[in-house]
Structures are given as structure tokens and as C-alpha cells.
Amino acid sequence: MEVLKSGDVPALVTNIEVMNILTKRIEQRQEQEQQNETQEATRNKKGNKLRHRDFIEEKVYEYLQSTPCAIVDFEKMPEFVGRLKGTHTKEEDVASLTKVDAEIKEGGKEIENETNDKKQGYNLMNAEILQISNHMPVHLVEIHLMIEELMGRMDEVKQNELLQLIAEYAGVPGEQMEEEEIFEEAL
């Protein structure tokens, strides 16, 4: 085995992106099958060559339908990743940051720390962001399994904020999250 370039990391794809790609491919294949129904001989020759690939794609798609990525909106993922990284520039977030920045100039130290936290995001590595995107955890225990040395990197308030952010994009209702947090606090 020969190393081509040192330090190159292969591009990783989230389950949500794979599901989006497979959805498009399966839809295209179904459209082609409908168009080729009259030309049955041609379809049989093509079908024999690609039937294993089609089978695998369909099985992967079925599996992904049973994971949390099935209910996530694909168009919102760049925004979600940006918010995890702290590079998100959603207009209302920018407006709130400028408002807070104005308050900082007036002398609010407590607000300064809050603003810096919003700008820095959650201090996650790319692999951790990938794991969170794939699994969309809803419990603190799950986050502890995905993020190395979580207690040293985030306090409990920041961890709960992360859970709320994930719930926002995962399609988990806020009320359900509150009930789960109440249950965890009772233990």
C-alpha cells in the first residue's frame, strides 16, 4: 500500500447526505423503469448487470429510514453544522449578536461571556459533529458517548443547550425533551 499524500483525510458523508443521494437515485431509477416498460428486453439486460447495486442501495435506504436521519430536513443541515461549529450566520443570530455587542460596550461582562460562547459554538471536532449529525442524540448519556472528555469541555448548561439545538433540527418536540430532562433530574 502506498501513501499518496500525508495528512489527507477522506471526505466523510453523513447518513442524511447518503439518504438524500439514495432517494434521488431510487426516484430516477423508478422513472426510467416506467419509461422502459415497453422495451422489456433492454430492461432485462440492464437489470441483470445492475441488480446487485440496486438491491444494496434499496437495503441501505430502508435501513436509513429507521434511523433519526429520516426525519431531519436536508436543507437545514448546513445551518445545523454551522451552529455546532459556531460559524453559523443566520440573520436573526447576527442581529442578536450585534445587539449584545452594543450592550457589551455599555459594560456588561456577563453578557460578554455569553456572546463569546455563541461565537465559539460548542468546540466540537469534525468527527464529533459527524457523529451527532448521524445519531441526533436526545439524551445526555448519548452525548457523553460521542464527545470525548465532555465534562471538561462543556458545563451542564452548555450540554443542555446542545441537546436543545439537536432537538430543534431532529424534529423532536420541545415538550418531549422537557419531559425527558425532568425524568433525568428525578433520578
Per-residue pLDDT of the chain (187 residues; tens, 9 = 90+): 555 555 555 678 899 999 999 999 999 988 888 887 766 655 555 556 888 999 999 999 999 999 988 888 889 999 998 998 887 654 544 444 444 444 444 544 443 444 444 446 788 888 899 999 999 999 999 999 999 998 999 999 999 999 999 998 887 654 444 555 555 555 5
- Where do the domains of the chain lie? 15-66, 74-86+121-186, 89-118
CATH 1.20.1250.40, domain 74-86+121-186, yes or no? yes
Q: Which residues, 6 or more positions from 69, have their beta carbon under 8 angstroms from its beta carbon?
A: 14, 15, 16, 19, 133, 134, 136
**Rounded CA Rg of the chain:** 22
Q: Output the CA–CA distances (angstroms, integers) from residue 45 to 29, 33, 51, 180, in the order listed.
A: 15, 13, 10, 54
Q: How many C-beta atoms lie closer than 10 Å to residue 113's C-beta?
A: 11
Query: pTM value?
Result: 0.65
Write the pLDDT tens digit of every residue in 101-122.
Answer: 444 445 444 434 444 444 467 8
- Closest of 163, 14, 138, 169 to residue 76, by C-alpha: 169
State whether residue 108 is helix, strand or coil: coil
